[in-house]
């Protein structure tokens, strides 16, 4: 949360999940994957899958907005070809903002629904969506029955979904097997700082449980977009670790990280291949110059805790004695240039999260901005995080200190904070550095 520290002590329960072609157990973790142009003469598709496996994901949810495009088919084929050689699965997330015709999505799905790398759940091919509430339960029911699909769409556009979840599930009935909530992964767009809330997730999950349906809860870092005729920001100061704690408390059957590679909305955690991006997006969403991979060790710790049914206080590093990262915007809020809607929610702060194993004591985190120490704060076992206000121009640094005051790990900025726009706008994307 803004301006406060979170540290909980507990012991992580041991747990594991084994993924087969026909997945029958719950507690799966997906990464939302934007299907764009991937050059077949590169190993980019292979890097994406190998990277996701290393983080601990079970599958990519393939967001396809143009299912009839040759480049989309080519990228999907590359991913399925390589996934078939790994213990990793893929399934489609029909993007109804990109294409609202379910028949065109069906045509692409038909090519891969029996592929050995396609994710199945209870021996049925999994299908999800981005949007899709407007096409109504009858259309979804027909699709589900015709394809024997395990259907977990994103029907938020239905007015009852958040306003009256019980009525929603009563109306949709057998049209779906579960639901996926997208919008609850961040605070609402606001001109003042807001924390993300799980209240809507809890309400929908409760109604889903009563209806015998599963729930997919979204985990994300921020939203920042400056392209395609629009620009907005949804707070990301401590959104990622706060959301981790919420998901571990709500305990949905599935979690979906938003996203692996959406450069356009800045919430990527993996590489965003330049061959699939416009020059406009690359001005701010370039994973080469603003990588977000420093979040991955935190997400691995979260995935392990999620599958074990543990709390945030019981999270532990996947390996070694710590996992953590620092993130910050490259401009101050006083930047004099084009700013996004919701810019008032931004805070001049250095943000950090650290996971320590059970039994850890005496550790501290020291935050330095522009050569000035902003805070030194005690941390303990499990997930610790904070947003430290007072960020200044210049270099940023977070250090983990042991009980003797020795620096055992550091996350340092590769790009200094400035107070100036670039290309005429104030870039609200984050720079992320892993604790090493």
pLDDT digits (tens, 9 = 90+) for 56-97: 999 999 999 999 999 999 999 999 999 999 999 999 999 999
Q: How far is CA 211 from the centre of its chain?
A: 27
Compute CA 190 distance to the chain's CA centroid, rounded to the nearest angstrom: 20
**pLDDT for 18 beyond 70:** no
pLDDT digits (tens, 9 = 90+) for 273-328: 999 999 999 999 999 999 999 999 999 999 999 999 999 999 999 988 999 999 99
Task: Round to whole Å and give the CA distance between 351 and 378.
Answer: 15
Mean pLDDT, residues 236-265:
98
Using alpha carbons only, what angle is made at residue 110 by residues 252 and 152, rounded to the nearest 5 degrees? 15
Whether the pLDDT of residue 4 is over 80: the answer is: no
d(CA 129, CA 39): 25
Average the pLDDT over 189-205 and give the result: 96
Give the integer Cα–Cα distance in Å for 432 and 413. 8
Which tens digit of pLDDT belongs to each residue from 382-436? 999 999 999 999 999 999 999 999 999 999 999 999 999 999 999 999 999 999 9
Q: Is 252 a residue whose pLDDT tops 80?
A: yes
Burial of 208-222, coded b for 16+ CB within 10 Å and e otherwise, reads: beebebbbbbbbbbb
Angstrom distance (rounded) from CA 266 to CA 264 = 6
Can you tell me the mean pLDDT for 236-242? 97
Q: How confident is the model at residue 25 (pLDDT cuts 50, 70, 90)?
A: low
Q: CA 248, 161, 266 angle in degrees (round to 5)?
A: 60
pLDDT at residue 9 tops 80: no
pLDDT for 14 = 29
Looking at residue 392, what DSSP letter applies?
-
> Does residue 7 carry a pLDDT above 80?
no
Tracing tokens 């909980």 back to the chain, one arrives at 8
Strand order in the sheet with 349-356: 6-7, 382-389, 349-356, 323-329, 430-434
What is the token pair recorded at 259? 């996203």
pLDDT value for 15: 32
In 3-state terms, what secondary structure has residue 133?
helix
Q: Is the pLDDT of residue 10 over 80?
A: no
- Buried-exposed string 384-403: b where 16+ CB fall within 10 A, e elsewhere: bbbbbeebbbeebbbbbbee
pLDDT, position 1: 43
Q: Percentage of residues in the chain with pLDDT exceeding 70?
A: 94
Q: Distance between CA 378 and CA 356 in Å, rounded?
A: 12
Nearest to 235 by CA among 349, 367, 353: 349
pLDDT at 6 over 90: no
The mean of the pLDDT values for the chain is 94
Tokens 């759940």 locate to: 121
**What percentage of the chain reaches a pLDDT higher than 90?**
93
Question: What mean pLDDT do residues 210-237 have?
Answer: 97
From 302, 304, 313, select the one nearest 221 (Cα to Cα): 302
Please report the pLDDT score of residue 3 as a whole number: 44
**The pLDDT of residue 132:** 96
Residue matched to tokens 């393939």: 62
pLDDT greater than 60 at residue 239: yes
Tell me, what's the pLDDT at 434? 98
pTM: 0.94
Within 13 A of 435's CA, how many CA atoms are on the CB side? Answer: 26
3-state secondary structure of 227: strand
> Quick check: 123 pLDDT over 60?
yes
Measured CA to CA, the distance from residue 329 to residue 233 in angstroms comes to 12
**Rounded to an integer, what distance in angstroms lies between the CA atom of residue 83 and that of residue 70?**
20
Element (H, E) at 280: helix 279-282
| Model confidence band, residue 24 (pLDDT cutoffs 50, 70, 90) | very low
pLDDT of residue 320: 85
């Amino acid at each position: 949360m803004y301006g406060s520290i979170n540290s909980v002590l507990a012991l992580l329960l041991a747990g594991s999940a084994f993924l087969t072609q026909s997945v029958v157990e719950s507690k799966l973790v997906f990464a939302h994957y934007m299907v764009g142009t991937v050059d077949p003469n590169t190993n980019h598709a292979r890097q994406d899958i190998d990277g996701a496996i290393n983080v601990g994901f079970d599958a990519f949810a393939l967001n396809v907005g143009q299912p009839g495009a040759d480049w989309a088919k080519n990228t999907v084929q590359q991913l399925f070809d390589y996934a078939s050689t790994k213990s990793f699965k893929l399934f489609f997330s029909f993007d109804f903002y990109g294409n609202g015709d379910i028949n065109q999505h069906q045509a692409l799905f038909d090519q891969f629904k029996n592929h050995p790398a396609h994710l199945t759940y209870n021996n049925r091919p999994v299908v999800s969506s981005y949007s899709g509430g407007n096409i109504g339960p009858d259309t979804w029911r027909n699709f589900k029955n015709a394809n024997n699909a395990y259907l977990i769409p994103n029907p938020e556009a239905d007015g009852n979904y958040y306003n009256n979840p019980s009525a929603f599930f009563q109306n949709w009935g057998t049209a779906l097997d579960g639901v996926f909530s997208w919008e609850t992964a961040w605070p609402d767009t606001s001109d003042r700082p807001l924390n993300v809330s799980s209240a809507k997730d809890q309400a929908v999950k409760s109604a889903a449980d009563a209806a015998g349906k599963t729930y997919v809860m979204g985990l994300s870092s921020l939203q920042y977009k400056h392209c395609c005729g629009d620009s907005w920001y949804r707070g990301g100061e401590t959104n990622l670790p706060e959301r981790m704690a919420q998901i571990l408390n709500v305990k949905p059957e599935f979690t979906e990280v938003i996203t692996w590679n959406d450069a356009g909305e800045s919430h990527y955690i993996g590489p965003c291949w330049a061959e699939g991006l416009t020059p406009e997006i690359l001005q701010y969403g370039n994973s080469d110059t603003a990588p977000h991979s420093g979040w991955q060790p935190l997400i691995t710790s979260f995935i392990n805790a999620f599958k074990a049914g543990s709390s945030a206080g019981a999270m532990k590093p996947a390996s070694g004695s710590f996992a953590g990262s620092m993130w910050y915007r490259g401009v101050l809020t006083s930047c004099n240039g084009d700013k996004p809607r919701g810019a008032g929610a931004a805070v001049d702060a250095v943000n950090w999260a650290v996971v320590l194993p059970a039994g850890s004591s005496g550790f501290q985190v020291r935050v330095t901005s522009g050569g000035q120490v902003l805070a030194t704060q005690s941390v303990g076992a499990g997930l610790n995080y904070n947003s430290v206000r007072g960020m200044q121009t210049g270099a940023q640094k977070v250090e983990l200190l042991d009980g003797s005051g020795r620096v055992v790990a550091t996350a340092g900025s590769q790009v200094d904070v400035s107070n100036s726009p670039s290309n005429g706008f104030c870039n609200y994307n984050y720079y992320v550095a892993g604790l090493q």
